[in-house]
A and B are shown apart, each in its own frame.
Chain A
């Protein structure tokens, strides 16, 4: 995939990153048009599909337990809701 332009990289807010989040290579993930992409290996992780309007019971449960409203994929999903 090659390197990303530095300026483009800097445009992203911190909440659009999951540091070392790639299960494949351990690279950082960033939110790319609603899906997570690894900066290191370029792989996409389709964690939250747009058509999944209502999160699964599994996700709802753990999100409620964590009680987090910012950071990572959950923030992205809440924004799009």
Chain B
């Protein structure tokens, strides 16, 4: 019998929509999307504060032991809001005592969907077939988060044996 894996929280972070997925024993236990549609106005900083508050709720509910992040910083364009988002997420993980591993988006796509710029549906398809989740209805951001988590588990799980 393989030992069960501590609970993992995987994130596909964006300042407008953040997908999250909780893995329990190598399976997706729950996933969702945090949106900030209600308050259209608001600075990136304000939206990030909303995100952090929502993440606190998710963490309190599922009590993850670690966090895997699909990091947008690998993208070619420079967006100050994304840099801020990443540093705020890193700070949040530190405060919460959660080890955070960030993977560039392109790296996840290359490993999971065999191409660094694989389109979102191709990534979703690769993940749903690998994890036996074909037919499961999830949003793009959830699949991105699931891909990040699944990739993280494939690295750490393989290393642990």
Residues of A within 8 A of B (CB): 18-24, 26, 36, 45-47, 49, 52, 56-59, 61-63, 65-66, 68, 72-74
Contacts and interface: CB of A to CB of B under 8 A. Distances in A.
A21 B135 contact: yes
Contacts, number: 63
B8 interface: no
Contact of A59 (B124, B130, B143, B157): B130
A23 B154 contact: no
A57 B125 contact: no
27 contacts: A18-B134, A20-B134, A21-B125, A22-B125, A23-B121, A23-B122, A23-B124, A23-B125, A23-B128, A23-B143, A26-B137, A36-B125, A45-B125, A47-B125, A47-B129, A56-B111, A56-B112, A56-B114, A57-B155, A58-B154, A59-B130, A61-B153, A62-B154, A65-B157, A66-B131, A66-B132, A73-B129
Given A23-B124, A58-B111, A58-B112, 19 more contacts: A19-B134, A19-B135, A20-B134, A21-B128, A21-B129, A22-B125, A23-B128, A26-B137, A47-B126, A56-B111, A61-B158, A62-B130, A62-B154, A63-B130, A65-B26, A66-B132, A72-B134, A73-B129, A74-B129
Tier of interface size on chain B? 20 to 34
Given A19-B134, A52-B114, A58 B129 contact: no
Interface of B: 26, 111-112, 114, 121-122, 124-126, 128-132, 134-135, 137, 143, 150-151, 153-155, 157-158
Contacts of B121: 23-24, 45
A63 B112 CA distance: 13
Nearest to B155: A57
Nearest to A63: B130
A58 B151 contact: yes
Contacts of A26: 137
Nearest to A21: B134
A24 B150 CA distance: 21
Contacts of B122: 23, 45-47
B117 to A, nearest CB: 14
* Pairs A-B, 4 closest by C-beta atoms: A61-B154, A23-B121, A62-B130, A23-B124
